[in-house]
Structure 1
């Protein structure tokens, strides 16, 4: 689903992370029993996911469907992939008919509005506590990692399921890496351990390769693609300790004593600020921004932008500021740039690009995690490690039908989400020479290295648990005027048209001016930041 990857990832950042920032209360601890002990397998399951453009995913899912039908010959599982570029429009058309119901049974939920999510999708909650007959009759939820079944943004239920993960890396051309002399004595590739060392690598590439760009990136937009990811992961590194300032305390409208009473800040714990571990009261964040306690004018944020400017555009292509995400990567595919920054979907992009260009000069790719920035005093990052964009992916939802159909479709999801189902899917990818975006969220599944070259890398945690690692609490991405100002100021500062200090001052002013408008758009009181303990909707 690479064509949608930037859009999907942005939507994930904007919507998925929203649960961490706006949620209050909890799910139903005792969901009603909605399944029967005996499934009526005489029926049809229609799977409509945006995989039509990506035959390897289509073939792998059909392999799972065939295996399920071998177990239940009376069931017909139809995999009918949709085109990724028109998938959102297709989804809207399926659910816009009032009481009418689509023929689709399994869809991707990421681009579905919350209204449709809670009214048109089956809540997984009551099924997750059932035994999974395809996984030793263990409770279904106990056979998966917690990230596989996230609570909805309004915490009303669980409407989406994820089977794998996604993370981000710097990817490099191994041929150019060797030409630049970036190899160890044993012949292995060097990887930078700090941001300053990454800059040294860039200088060496520029010096030792002929007319090659050390790092290709698109500077046309800063809320999608690599530039947005870099701003978010390093914003999170510098402000990891913000969780201590904005967590819900006793008396706050969103305080959850089950997780908040005993919570303490631990920057070394990558999941310390996960929504399952603590509650972020975003009103406290916006109040801190309005009070100039946390702003783009801070020494830390200024240091982060200054560090990024040492790479971008110093070691980038000449037309960086006008290139979009895909134009920049063309330099990489043509062998004219040494590095790009992307998510693990990039493995399949690599396969597809050279399959489509048989006459192109193919090269091997390497990868390494984003190295941490360093500093001293007020400009020192809070954390010594860098977290990632991405996280759990899949976003599989079951369209609500009658109980008989819901039970049947959920039975298939149990099979697909079992070790057996995942092994079948992964084996198909392996046979096709294709890749998967990350390690499985289904326990006991050993993802083959052949389909996931980065399997030995542990996921470093989600940067967008942190509002600074999430476009300053979505102000720069969801609010119209702030979004436009953020885009314009980023272009200006990275193009050298304004100073970093001026960038911080103007962006801070834009955020502070627009917070009341943003609150109104959210259905909150425009001055809710003045009373962060109160529900902003009341």
Structure 2
């Protein structure tokens, strides 16, 4: 195993060196001299973010002969993390690289391998333009900021008003009202909640809700380090709640084998009554191309509270995507100048694609084929509270998180009791968290 890892380090490091050599090294360059900047990516190469970045890099290159942005794309998350950590260990990270606020990245910061993004944005005169929530999503627990956000999305529960009316149910006022909706919706012929069960993270969103309302962000911060347990009141309440959702058949039969498009299609064709997803799906949910009986009946509600909520109704899940780190070793005049150009132009260009941006003073352009829901949903950005319900898959150690996604399916399917679920998760947490957050 040791020899295999050394071989992998050598191979990836050699690749990184080859990219650097191809780009002519770092530092300011004269006109016509080659200077290639590389970005190690863990996001879709054909998504809005990279499409806009590519467009702007091409524009920058026209006025800076010899400049080129090289994108190294590895959309498979586990493969990406292996490549990222191997290059970092070999001290061969490219100029830009996608990363989260993990303990591994924190170690790199201790080794002074990342640029302080807060200092950089202030130096570029851009810091005050960013939405606080977009930056806060990228921060470490100590408040430090070493990742750039390139996205900003809010997550809602979209629902079909016609199916609710047919079933005689109303929007849940609290989280505890959810389970009671499912029986009437099923009797009315609807799937109560559309869910992508294959990918793990959509169901993991649900496990975060009760704890966020009952314990606020502090519970998750303590839980991930092993200073709290799944058996504590917020976690135990969540397990009971999810078990109740399963007993009341809230999700589609066979949900664990359904993918992302399956869940979305169930909702957009009028088969499912509720679909929890982010504003990135508005082009599909708020489109005039939807069936006539669906497009005019879609609305949304935000994360319901609970009787004992410590967070407010306007506090819920907002995300600014995976962050981008900047290599301090390669942060020269060319990288700085390109980032200044990119970050000044990027928000307006992203807004043209119909997306919110991490910058607050740029309004998204609503597509011509959008229903009124599109603008209404994006308008919630002006009503956000101060607390963020962080997705658990971005916070827990990888081993505990993998088990959690597996155990959640068993819990909802009734194969595990809430007590069995919390016991198994606490055992895994006690073993994994101290090693990861050491």
**TM-score normalised according to structure 1 size:** 0.57
Deviation at 1:422, TM superposition (A): 1.6
* Deviation sequence 1:303-349 (CA, Å, 0-9, x none): 54444444435232222355465554453355432322122332356
User: 360-369 or 301-310, which moves further after superposition?
Assistant: 360-369
**How has the CA–CA distance of structure 1 residues 322 and 76 changed in structure 2, closer, same or farther, with 3 Å as cutoff?**
closer
Q: Distance in 1 between matches of 2:398 and 2:82?
A: 23
1:393-412 matches, cutoff 5 A: 393=321, 395-402=323-330, 406-412=332-338
Compute the displacement of 1:374 (Å): 3.8
**Do residues 517 (structure 1) and 431 (structure 2) align?**
yes
**Alignment partner, residue 178 of structure 1:** 162
- In structure 2, the CA distance between the partners of 1:392 and 1:40, relative to structure 1 (3 Å rule), is farther
Partner of 1:44: 35
Residue correspondences, number: 393
2:129 match: 143
Summarize the Cα distance change of 1:425–1:523 in structure 2 as closer, same or farther, 3 Å threshold: closer
Q: Could you report, residue by residue, the CA deviation over 1:399-418 in whole angstroms, capped at 9, with x for unpaired residues?
A: 45556xx2222222222222
Consecutive unaligned residues in structure 2, runs of 5 or more:
1-26
Deviation (angstroms), 1:236: 0.9
Instruction: Judge conservation of contact 1:489–1:507 (CA < 8 Å) in 2.
Output: yes
Per-residue deviation at 1:216?
1.9
CA contact (8 A) 1:69 1:75 kept: yes
Counterpart-to-counterpart distance in 2, 1:110 and 1:287: 21
Q: Following TM superposition, by how much is the alpha carbon of 1:165 offset from its aligned partner in structure 2, in angstroms? A: 1.6
What is the rounded CA distance, in whole Å, between the counterparts of 1:478 and 1:59 in structure 2?
A: 30
Question: Mapping of 1:94-113 within 5 angstroms?
Answer: 95=87, 98=90, 102=94, 105-110=95-100, 113=104
**Residue 40 of structure 1 contacts residue 408 of structure 1 at CA under 8 Å; is this kept in 2?**
no
Deviations 1:7-51, CA, capped at 9 Å, x for gaps: xxxxxxxxxxxxxxxxxxxxxxxxxxxxx9x99776535354456
Give the corresponding residue for 1:456.
379
Inter-partner Cα distance in structure 2 for 1:74 and 1:399: 23
Partners of 2:378 and 2:215 in 1: CA distance? 28
Superimposed CA distance per residue, residues 151-202 of structure 1 (whole angstroms, 9 cap, x where no aligned partner)? 7648696432114322211234x5xx33553799xxxxx8544446655665
Report what 2:154 is aligned to.
167
1:206 aligns with 2:186: yes
Query: 2: distance between equivalents of 1:51 and 1:194?
Result: 35
Given the alignment of the two structures, is residue 447 of structure 1 paired with residue 344 of structure 2, yes or no? no
3-state SS of paired residue (1:159): coil
Give the corresponding residue for 1:320: 255
Residue 228 of structure 1 and its aligned partner are, at CA, apart by: 0.7
- Of 276, 301, 304, which aligns to 1:369? 301
Counterparts of 1:50-89 in structure 2, within 5 Å, are: 53-54=45-46, 56-69=48-61, 72-74=63-65, 76-78=67-69, 80=71, 82=73, 84-85=75-76, 88=80
Equivalent-residue separation in structure 2 for 1:441 and 1:363 (angstroms): 31
- Quick one: which of 204, 217, 237 aligns to 2:195? 217
Taking the aligned partners of 2:194 and 2:224, their CA distance within structure 1 comes to 38
Could you tell me which residue of structure 2 aligns to residue 237 of structure 1? 213
What secondary structure, in the 3-state scheme, does the structure 2 residue paired with 1:393 have? Answer: coil
Task: State whether structure 2 residue 429 is matched by structure 1 residue 494.
Answer: no
RMSD: 4.8
Higher helix share: 2
